[in-house]
Amino acid sequence: MPEANASTNMTITESCAKRLQVLREKEKNPSLMLRVAVLGGGCSGFQYELSLDDQKHPEDVTFERDGAVLVTDTMSMQFLAGAEVDYVSSLVKSSFKIRNPNEAAGCGCGKSFSPKM
């Protein structure tokens, strides 16, 4: 499994780590990880896909904080290097948020972006 290094670093906030732990307990699956992928499509060219997964693949890169694990594939990592994954809760909705320094522009939905060239 590839190891994370300075050029492929992603940050998991404390809030994100805590939410992942809650989801693990709720699903009764201590192996659950947050999978973040970048796919072509969406209104800005690329879109984020977030899902819970308990499987690691050979091409995956993992990041950990306080026992919570985030996983992404090496192809998505080129768009996610330096990104921060947070969990934000408000009266209206709660969701995982990605703050990505590689975004040139984003969509209002927060799930679609165009990369810096």
How far is it, in rounded angstroms, from Cα 59 to Cα 65?
Answer: 20
The pLDDT, as a whole number, for residue 14 is 97
Query: So what's the pLDDT on residue 4?
Result: 45
For the record, the structure tokens of 106 come out as: 């984003």
Domain span at 10: 6-104
Q: What pTM, to 2 d.p., does this model score? A: 0.84
Please report whether residue 117 resides in a domain.
no
Identify whether the C-beta of residue 53 lies closer than 8 Å to the C-beta of residue 35.
yes
User: Per the structure, how many domains does the chain have?
Assistant: 1
* Pairing mode, strands 60-65 and 103-106: unpaired
Q: For every one of its 117 residues, what pLDDT tens digit does the chain have, with 9 covering 90 and above? A: 334 443 568 999 999 999 999 999 999 999 999 999 999 877 768 899 999 999 999 999 999 999 999 999 999 999 999 999 999 998 888 999 999 998 867 666 666 677 776
Cα–Cα distance between 35 and 107 in angstroms, integer? 21
Residue 37, CA distances (Å) to 6, 25, 26, 112 in order: 19, 23, 23, 12
Instruction: Output the pLDDT for position 45.
Output: 82
CATH of the domain at 27: 2.60.300.12
In a domain, 61, yes or no: yes
Quick check: is 110 in a domain? Answer: no
pLDDT on residue 112? 67
